[in-house]
Amino acid sequence: MALYLATPEPKHKRAWKQYQKEFLAADELTGRKLNYRAFLRQRKRFASEKTVPKDYVPDTLFFLMDSGADKILGRISIRHRLVDSLLVRGGHIGYAIVPSERRKGYATEQLRLGLEKCKDLGITPVLITCHKENIASAKVIQKNGGVLENEREVDDGKVFQRYWITL
C-alpha cells in the first residue's frame, strides 16, 4: 500500500460517493451535500484568489488515496492565506480521515504529505489548530513537528490549540 494525495478528478466520483456516505452514516458530514460535478466546480472556484467567494480564502483540497484501492481514506484542505478568524480556529490546514480508517496512522501521513504541498505553495510557517479535547489530532500535529504556541477560547467556549510548523 502506498498513500498519496490526489487532486479531485472525475475518476474519483464513485470513491467520493462512498466517502460522503461514510461521513453521513457517522453523522459527521459538515456543510451541504453536493453532487460530484458541483463539488468539482466548487473546488475549482475555491482554489483561485480570483474566483474564491467573498468571505473565503483560496484553498486547495486533496484526497488521501491508497494506490492499491479505489478508496478515499481522507481529505486535506490547504488554505493559501489566513484571515483573523483562521488565526484562532482553522489555520492553514484542515483534514479528516473516514471513520472506518481512523487509528491506523493515516492522518499522520496525510498531514506529512500536506506539508509537502504547503512547501510547494510557499506556505511557511504553517498554522494548524485543533480543539483542545482532540488529543488524537494534537498528536498528529506534534508528530509532524507542530509546536504549541498557545490556546485560545472562542465565543462558543471551545478552546483551540494553535500549533506552528516551520518547513
Amino acid 32: pLDDT: 60
Q: What is the DSSP string of the chain?
A: --EEEE---GGGHHHHHHHHHHHHHTT---S----HHHHHHHHHHHT-TTTSPTT---EEEEEEEETTSS-EEEEEEEESS--HHHHHTTBSEEEEE-GGGTTSSHHHHHHHHHHHHHHHHT--SEEEEEETT-HHHHHHHHHTT-EEEEEEE-TTS-EEEEEEE--
* Domains in the chain, CATH or no CATH each: 3-165 (3.40.630.30)
Express as a percent the part of the chain with pLDDT over 70: 96
Q: Could you read off the pLDDT of 11-55 as tens digits, one per residue? A: 999 999 898 888 888 776 665 667 899 999 999 999 999 999 998
For residues 133-152, average pLDDT = 97
Q: Could you read off the pLDDT of 57-103 as tens digits, one per residue? A: 999 999 999 987 889 999 999 999 999 999 999 999 999 999 999 99
